[in-house]
Amino acid sequence: MGLLLLVPLLLLPGSYGLPFYNGFYYSNSANDQNPGNGHGKDLLNGVKLVVETPEETLFTYQGASVILPCRYRYEPALVSPRRVRIKWWKLSENGAPEKDVLVAIGLRHRSFGDYQGRVHLRQDKEHDVSLEIQDLRLEDYGRYRCEVIDGLEDESGLVELELRGVVFPYQSPNGRYQFNFHEGQQVCAEQGAVVASFEQLFRAWEEGLDWCNAGWLQDATVQYPIMLPRQPCGGPGLAPGVRSYGPRHRRLHRYDVFCFATALKGRVYYLEHPEKLTLTEAREACQEDDAMIAKVGQLFAAWKFHGLDRCDAGWLADGSVRYPVVHPHPNCGPPEPGVRSFGFPDPQSRLYGVYCYRQH
């Protein structure tokens, strides 16, 4: 009897003419329980729909374009093509809401929110429904689901997108532990970055990040990475690792923040200038060179990914003075690579140069 009731529903006119709106196809929560990629479901006629997406994580950088691969096929292959519906969405994680990205039926498609004008389907080949995202933004990284709907049956695959980047701790000019969570988000954005996730901080710790001050992460927990256990950082008896204070109140509690900046399309450079500059003069000097004074995140990214190595201290946009060292040498600070900081000197001081950023 159940099968007989399905038939009139399938024959309803205009089923493909429904208006597009967020989530109109189905409930996403049920589909998110699908544990893997490429698992097919049996259709009513015994043909299996299979969706294929890559198992490995895709890595790219801010401002680039990337293709999230997704193909589907039938087992056994169909003699005549079928009209299917396609939906891409970004999964919820770290407290961020789920986001619809694109829905399509045939040549008709609609994109949503911040993705409008930046996404389209790559339908160059049969059954290819890969998603191209242009002008990637910091908030674009995460997990995306590609779903193919054939009648009342659907199958989906998962694509994970990561941006190549660098984690750096950020402290207020007024000293340590000055930011609540929302202020931490703001200062990271002002430095060309976002609040780092735990996964990004853990990867940075694996690469050698050692920092004793606790800072906010994207999920509103407060943690800090320790490579060399010592007395001020929990004591010498604790093993190396990422130490956690757990979740904290986003408005009331105050800490530093860990920011995440991605690789750059532009170029950071130390401006060769005949004189040392005040902070205001440093901004003006970069503008006269058809550039802008560099942000902290841009300097870290240039150090990490472009090998910027300079022993000259220079002003940055936040009023701090720093310099990047890839190959440590005498008279240039500690024996480890890193971005050295002079803190936040008097902005009227004429002891420093400036780092500028120019877009390609």
Q: What is the CATH number of the domain that holds 129?
A: 2.60.40.10
Antiparallel, parallel or unpaired: β 221-226 and 41-42: unpaired
* 132 occurs within a structural domain: yes
- For the segment 128-150, the average pLDDT, to the nearest whole number, is 93
* 11 occurs within a structural domain: no
Domain limit, last residue, from 103, 133, 163? 163
Residue with the two structure tokens 């950088």: 61
d(CA 233, CA 132): 45
Q: Indicate if 55 and 157 belong to the same structural domain.
A: yes
Q: Indicate if 76 and 174 belong to the same structural domain.
A: no
Cα–Cα separations (whole angstroms), residue 303 to 132, 182, 320: 29, 27, 16
Q: What is the pLDDT of residue 3?
A: 37
- Cβ distance 254 to 177 under 8 Å? yes
Domain limit, last residue, from 227, 243, 261? 261
Q: Indicate if 159 and 177 belong to the same structural domain.
A: no
d(CA 156, CA 88): 9
Residues with Cβ within 8 Å of 138's Cβ and at least 6 positions away in sequence, in order, are 62, 163, 193, 194, 260, 262
* 182 occurs within a structural domain: yes
Q: Indicate if 355 and 303 belong to the same structural domain.
A: yes
Please give the residue that has the higher pLDDT: either 86 or 25. Answer: 86
Residue with the two structure tokens 């990271």: 188
Instruction: Tell me how many domains the chain contains.
Output: 3
Q: Indicate if 292 and 234 belong to the same structural domain.
A: no
- The amino acid at residue 215 is G
CATH number at residue 355: 3.10.100.10
Range of the domain at 336: 264-359
Q: Indicate if 56 and 152 belong to the same structural domain.
A: yes
* 235 occurs within a structural domain: yes
Residue whose C-alpha is closest to residue 51's, from 32, 66, 73, 33: 73
- The amino acid at residue 240 is P
- Cβ distance 70 to 87 under 8 Å? no
* 149 occurs within a structural domain: yes
Domain limit, last residue, from 234, 261, 288? 261
Q: Indicate if 79 and 151 belong to the same structural domain.
A: yes
Residue with the two structure tokens 């995140």: 297
Q: What does the pLDDT look like over 16-27, one tens digit per residue?
A: 333 322 222 222
**Do you find a cis peptide bond into 81, omega within 30 degrees of 0?**
no
pLDDT band of residue 10 (cuts 50, 70, 90) is very low
d(CA 63, CA 265): 7
d(CA 230, CA 142): 35
Q: What is the pLDDT of residue 138?
A: 83
- For the segment 120-134, the average pLDDT, to the nearest whole number, is 91
- The amino acid at residue 267 is R
Q: What is the pLDDT of residue 43?
A: 52
* 252 occurs within a structural domain: yes
Q: Indicate if 61 and 108 belong to the same structural domain.
A: yes
Q: Indicate if 57 and 159 belong to the same structural domain.
A: yes
Q: What does the pLDDT look like over 289-310, one tens digit per residue?
A: 999 999 999 999 999 999 999 9
